[in-house]
Amino acid sequence: MLIRAQVVLAASLVLGIAACGATNEPESADRASSQVVSDDDRDRDFPVAATNGDTLVDDRPPGASAPATGGPEQGNQQPEDSRSSTERAVAVVSGKGQYLDQMDQIGAPAEIVAKARAAGLTHLVLRARNPEQGFYARGILDELLPAAHAVGISIVAYDAPALEDIRGDIARSVEMAQYVTPTGDQLDAIGAKIERSSAPNLDRARADAYGRGLRAALEPNYPMIGIVMNPNANLANYPFNEIARHFDVLSPMDCWTGVTDDGAGFVKTSIDLLNGLETRRPISVVGQAYPIEGANTYPPPDAVSAAMFSAKSNGAIGMSFWSWETTRTDTWGVIIDFAW
């Protein structure tokens, strides 16, 4: 597939972003101009992650088929999918999920899928490429995708764009979206983890150019997940509005230990802030299942349970945890027992 977008970079506004939203930044930035949404899009019936009755926005036409997926429940060799990109993304990341970070510490794909199914997970998310190794996850996906799809589990692969060579970032994401396993399986969605650690010059113009170009390069109804910083401390200094214009679901990285003991309140605030963006999107929270700065900051099971309840009761469509290999046995118990 040819990349159809002509990416134009505006002048950069350097933003201060802290990992997992742990610290405030002194800089500020003007909010982006309001998103213009058609009446038809405003009237679409998507899940609403709020209590005020507003509907979520899907600003892409639903007609064309994507180069990947169609829902794992359909099996291999997927037929064309007429759902909109947002409908498809919501189907992929609703419910409980896990992030797969260090695959060599986790086990074989068949074992991962068996445990995920037993835990009631609906989706798994893994990084599929990095600048040093390129698209290194092909072999993993060749085993993971058919095994997961056979039991109705969706797979999302993500990249962390550097946003220096934006055309190159887009091409790499398209390569993931187009990948087909020997069994005919493809990803159910792609994600972009957008943060300063991978994109030191992250600003509004770069985020908008990347999202706009990626959307133009993929089929109109291909599902895209924006993995974003926690907004609690970063709302003014991070391009949330620009990302929300182009991505179908927002997944805030809500890592609360080291900031507060109130994980439930932290998650609620995150959801409330994202619901106030100019373009509202469904929200699937990334929860914490790892120690930020040592074992003493690992969230206790009751805090994880409260955060899950907060996410669900405040309208999030799902919650995934970072990450599989750091999730303790007691936290696994909470995830298994929680009914989404």
| Runs of H (alpha helix) within the chain | 39-42, 85-93, 109-118, 138-150, 166-178, 204-217, 240-246, 263-275, 301-313, 329-337
Min mean pLDDT across 18-32, 146-160, 323-337 is at 18-32
Give me the pLDDT at residue 258, please: 83
Give me the pLDDT at residue 128, please: 93
Token output for 304: 């994880």
Give, for 157, the enclosing helix (H) or strand (E): strand 154-159
The stretch 166-194 carries a mean pLDDT of: 97
The stretch 265-283 carries a mean pLDDT of: 98
Min mean pLDDT across 27-31, 128-132, 179-183, 256-260 is at 27-31
What contacts 242, CB < 8 A, 6 or more positions away? Answer: 32, 204, 207, 208, 211
- Is residue 265 scored above 90 in pLDDT? yes
CA separation, residue 147 to residues 111, 127, 142, 165, 182 (Å):
10, 18, 9, 35, 13
Instruction: Provide the pLDDT confidence category of residue 132 given band limits of 50, 70 and 90.
Output: confident
Token pair 């970032």: residue: 169
C-alpha 239, offset from chain centre: 15
CB 242 within 8 A of CB 213: no
Residue 208: phi, psi to the nearest 5? -70, -40
Q: Residue 51, exposed/middle/buried by CB under 10 A (0-12, 13-18, 19+)? A: exposed
Give me the pLDDT at residue 78, please: 57
Find residue 98's DSSP bridge partners.
124, 321
CA dist 158 and 227 (Å) reads 9
What are the pLDDT digits (tens) for 60-96? 333 333 334 444 444 455 568 999 999 999 999 999 9
CA separation, residue 268 to residues 162, 273, 308 (Å):
30, 9, 10
Question: What percentage of residues in the chain have a pLDDT greater than 90?
Answer: 69
- Is residue 25 scored above 70 in pLDDT? no
The pTM of this model reads 0.80
The stretch 23-48 carries a mean pLDDT of: 32
Instruction: Provide the pLDDT confidence category of residue 59 given band limits of 50, 70 and 90.
Output: very low
Give me the pLDDT at residue 79, please: 63
CA separation, residue 324 to residues 24, 176, 191 (Å):
28, 22, 18
Helices 301-313 and 329-337 cross at an angle (nearest 10°) of: 30
Give me the pLDDT at residue 102, please: 85
C-alpha 133, offset from chain centre: 22
Backbone φ/ψ region at 133: left (φ over 0), alpha (ψ -120 to 50), beta: alpha
Structure-model confidence comparison of residues 86 and 13, the more confident one: 86
- Is residue 45 scored above 70 in pLDDT? no
- Is residue 41 scored above 70 in pLDDT? no
Superfamily of domain 37-337: Glycosidases (3.20.20.80)
Nearest to 321 by CA among 339, 299, 302: 299
Give me the pLDDT at residue 123, please: 98
Report the chain's mean pLDDT, rounded to a whole number.
82
Give me the pLDDT at residue 134, please: 87
Q: Domain limits of the chain? A: 37-337
Q: Is the dihedral of CA 64, 50, 274, 284 positive or negative?
A: negative
CA dist 127 and 161 (Å) reads 11
What are the pLDDT digits (tens) for 278-336? 999 999 999 999 998 765 789 999 999 999 999 999 999 999 999 999 999 999 999 99
- Is residue 188 scored above 70 in pLDDT? yes
What are the pLDDT digits (tens) for 189-245? 999 999 999 999 999 999 999 999 999 999 999 999 999 999 998 899 999 999 999
Give me the pLDDT at residue 294, please: 62
CB 182 within 8 A of CB 147: no
